[in-house]
Amino acid sequence: MKCFEFMGKEIFARFGIPVPRGRMVLTPEDAAQAAAEIGKPVVIKSQVLSGKRGKAGGIKFADTPEEAAQAAAEVLSMTVQGLPVRRVLVEEKLKIDAELYVAITIDGAAKAPVVIASAKGGMDIEEQDEADIVKTHLDVFLGLPAFLARDVARKIGLRGNLAKEFSDILSKMYCILNHKDAELVEINPLVVSGDHLIAADAKLTIDDSALYRQKDIPFVDEDMTEVEKMAKAAGVGSFVELGGDIAIMANGAGITMGTLDMIQLFGGRPANFMDAGGGTGVEGTAKAISILLAQNPKVIFINIFGGITRCDDVANALAQVKRDMGIPVPVVVRMVGTNEEAGVRILKEVGIDAYRDMKTAAQMAVALAKRGEGA
């Protein structure tokens, strides 16, 4: 889950990383009040889950509370990178002598956290020459020892007090990575202001699977589609919309990924990823099917390898949805495993044939989608 900048800065401040004074507001009037409280020139920053806000005009400056109100009104009426601006961050305008970049994220290939730092931060960091980027992988059993933090500071050219502050900030970022179950902790830019460093921006991404234990972090759903929000509200396992026309449900992440691959192999376009999980039961399965229908697909493809999940439960759910709501598109089912015979019989009673072979079922789903049956 991506956090808004103001959320990231609140967490940074809690862990002792210096951030500008300011607060998030929802109206121009509150922006003027926040600017008056700060008592000096401010910056009005759009709070959207996107980068390049400055280039899009989503960041403005103001010298007085009246100017802050006007700037906030303009920003709150904008869309930035296609995202409507619903809130802004009002914070003190910093004196900027230089801009650095620093982040800690997870390198999946190396199976380890990695520190990424550069003396050339700010906009277009992704276009920096590799020679200007310092990367240091961390041993999770050692963490980020002080000597390693100082070494990163030295490699990006910092000396004296700035090097000391950088090392301290980097250590605190690693604490955030661990304690907040973060996948990414990023500061860009980390501003050199006189003899001190200040986090002028904050990017924080939390591992979705760990959100249940991060109760103090508000849930952010603004990067989710409406159907994804429906799926989450319904308690449907893992669901991601993909934009195709074949709605897919399977029971397990591996079999779901395999189903997506096979549909694409035969020239089809998956509408979604849905891992309905194991042992979902009739009611939960019926909810999952209703989510698939909400995407208006041309075909529904259900791929069940019955273990904990019983084939007769899935079949009963399908039959229930067909009786109660109707299913206006073809349904292709591949079903093997626990209570398979009972499941096949239940499906046959409502006019749905089940396949045992995944390849044959996937080919049928793609063929039906291409014919546009039920569209």
Would the CA dihedral through 86, 90, 91, 95 be positive or negative? positive
CB atoms within 10 A of CB 172: 19
User: Of 303, 190, 312, whose CA–CA distance to 253 is shortest?
Assistant: 303
Output the known binding site for ATP. Answer: 45, 91, 94, 99
Letter for the amino acid at 222? E
Q: Which residues of 327-349 are buried (b: 16+ CB within 10 A; e: fewer)?
A: bebbbbbbbbbbbbeebbebbee
Output the known binding site for substrate. Answer: 251, 307-309
CB atoms within 10 A of CB 86: 12
Cα three-residue angle 320-324-326, rounded to 5 degrees:
95
Q: How far apart are CA 239 and CA 33, in angstroms?
A: 41
Where would I find the H helices in the chain? 5-14, 28-38, 65-76, 146-155, 160-179, 226-233, 253-265, 281-293, 311-324, 340-349, 358-371
CB atoms within 10 A of CB 229: 13
Which of 101, 165, 174, 241 does the annotation list as catalytic?
A: 101
Q: How far apart are CA 118 and CA 32, in angstroms?
A: 36
Output the known binding site for Mg(2+). Answer: 188, 201
* 373 classed as catalytic: no
Q: Which residues pair with 142 in a beta bridge?
A: none
Q: How far apart are CA 150 and CA 155, in angstroms?
A: 9
Output the known binding site. Answer: 45, 91, 94, 99, 188, 201, 251, 307-309
How many Å separate Cα 191 from the centre of its chain? 26
Which of 10, 67, 165, 186 does the annotation list as catalytic?
A: 186
What is the helix (H) or strand (E) element at residue 25, kind and residue range? strand 22-25
The residues, any chain, with a CB within 8 Å of residue 26's CB and separated by 6 or more, are 86, 87
* 174 classed as catalytic: no
Query: What backbone phi and psi angles, to 5 degrees, belong to 353?
Result: -90, 145
Active site (catalytic) residues: 101, 186
